[in-house]
């Protein structure tokens, strides 16, 4: 049995670091494990300009613990009226790594998102031409579509036509949760990839609803039935270069989760790499862990892999019930349980 695994330093291709006190509280968790991370732009107000992204990047750097070796990769939040020239300027100057498409009202802080993808024609032409990746929250928001069907319907109604109309556009379907998403990505060309969260490899919807409502397992896209979890998990450990690590760690203060209208988001950043390692170990796929965590993402984005390595050991790793105090008190994923892998310092 393998008891120690050393891999190239991984990256997190989808994380919410927030701002202000929460940013100060959580940035160190991500920087401890990952060399780089794609930073979600759904702040209030959202990050829609080069200047806003530069300022946010500076705040992230200032929030890191001393000596941290971490590069935030900034993302432009797409709105109906966004200027393609601003996006191109941000990309060619190295400030923006990608753009994020939130369908309006799909999730937390998406009110300024896109109401109709037809409004993005100029933006998508530009992104395809310059090779800038489009990161997609793939859910429709129509009131008549069941929340458990929203990803599959998005793929059929929006993503398939998008891929047809922009055949060279680089697209990451973020935090996939369904067999339909796995099938779509596997059946598409090399310019279509997906990120996978730890929770969507581990929980199905029973973990939210059986035995009482468990708000800390609620995120969007919501976890689906078991057959979908199995499909996503299989894709993640398959070794396919189309699938890579994106935690979607999304901290909310405990009172905003344990609430009559609780926020969507699972805070998995503190033990993310250990959680993924446990999944790959359970699947007998530790030999494919490095590809998923450290190699496939850079290859897709056209970036070098990180220098340096991390080492994980097989040893019990108890997860605390809460982390932080007051307005930054958050419940981590796996709270009160014990993970089987530990990241060496
Ligand atoms: O669960 C989620 N939380 N999904 C998202 O898409 C957004 C995120 C957040 O920002 O809290
Ligand atoms: Zn997210």
Catalytic residue among 11, 19, 183, 248: 248
* Confidence (pLDDT) at 314: 98
| Ligand 1 center from residue 209 Cα (angstroms) | 19
Report whether 251 contacts 269 (CB < 8 A): yes
CATH T-level assignment (fold) for domain 11-306 = TIM Barrel (3.20.20)
The backbone torsions φ and ψ at residue 196, rounded to the nearest 5 degrees and listed phi first, read -135, 130
Q: Which-ligand-closest: CA of 37?
A: 2
Domain residue ranges in the chain: 11-306
| Atom number of ligand 1 nearest to Cα 252 | 11
The reply to whether 248 belongs to the active site is: yes
What pLDDT was estimated at residue 99?
98
- Dist CA 30 CA 39 (whole Å): 11
For ligand 1, mutation pick of 108, 111, 173, 214 (most atoms within 8 Å of CB): 108
Which parts of the chain sit beneath pLDDT 50? none
Give ∠ CA 14-311-271 in degrees, rounded to 5.
45
Query: Is the whole-model pTM more than 0.95?
Result: yes
Report d(CA 71, CA 60) in Å as an integer.
9
Q: Which residue in 295, 315, 327 sits closest to 25, CA to CA?
A: 327
- The closest-lying atom of ligand 1 relative to the alpha carbon of residue 42 is 10
**Per-residue pLDDT at 1:** 79
**What pLDDT is recorded for position 110?**
87
């Amino acid at each position: 049995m393998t008891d120690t695994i050393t891999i190239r330093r991984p990256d997190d291709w989808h994380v919410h670091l927030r701002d202000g006190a929460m940013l100060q509280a959580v940035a160190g968790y991500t920087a401890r494990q990952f060399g780089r991370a794609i930073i979600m732009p759904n702040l209030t107000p959202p990050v829609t300009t080069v200047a806003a992204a530069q300022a946010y990047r500076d705040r992230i750097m200032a929030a890191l613990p001393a000596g941290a070796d971490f590069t935030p990769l900034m993302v432009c939040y797409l709105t109906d009226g966004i200027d393609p020239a601003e996006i191109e300027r941000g990309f060619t100057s190295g400030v923006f790594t990608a753009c994020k498409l939130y369908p309006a009202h799909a999730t937390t802080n998406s009110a300024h998102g896109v109401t109709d993808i037809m409004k993005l024609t100029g933006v998508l032409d530009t992104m395809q031409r310059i090779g800038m990746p489009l990161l997609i929250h793939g859910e429709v928001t129509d009131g008549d579509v069941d929340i458990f069907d929203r990803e599959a319907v998005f793929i059929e109604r929006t993503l398939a036509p998008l891929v047809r109309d922009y055949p060279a556009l680089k697209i990451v379907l973020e935090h996939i949760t369904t067999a339909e998403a796995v099938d779509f990505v596997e059946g598409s060309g090399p310019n279509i990839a997906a990120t996978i969260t730890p929770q969507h490899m581990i929980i199905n919807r029973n973990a939210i609803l059986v035995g009482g409502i468990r708000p800390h397992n609620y995120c969007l896209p919501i976890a689906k039935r078991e057959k979908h979890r199995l499909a996503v998990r299989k894709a993640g450990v398959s070794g396919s270069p189309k699938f890579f690590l994106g935690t979607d760690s999304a901290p909310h203060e405990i009172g905003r989760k344990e609430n009559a209208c609780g926020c969507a988001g699972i805070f998995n950043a503190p033990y993310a790499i250990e959680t993924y390692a446990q999944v790959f170990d359970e699947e007998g796929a530790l030999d494919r862990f490095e590809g998923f965590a450290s190699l496939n993402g850079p290859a897709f984005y056209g970036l070098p892999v990180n220098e340096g390595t991390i080492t994980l050991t097989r040893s019990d790793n108890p997860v605390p019930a809460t982390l932080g105090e007051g307005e930054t008190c958050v419940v981590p994923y796996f709270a009160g349980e014990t993970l089987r892998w530990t990241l060496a310092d």
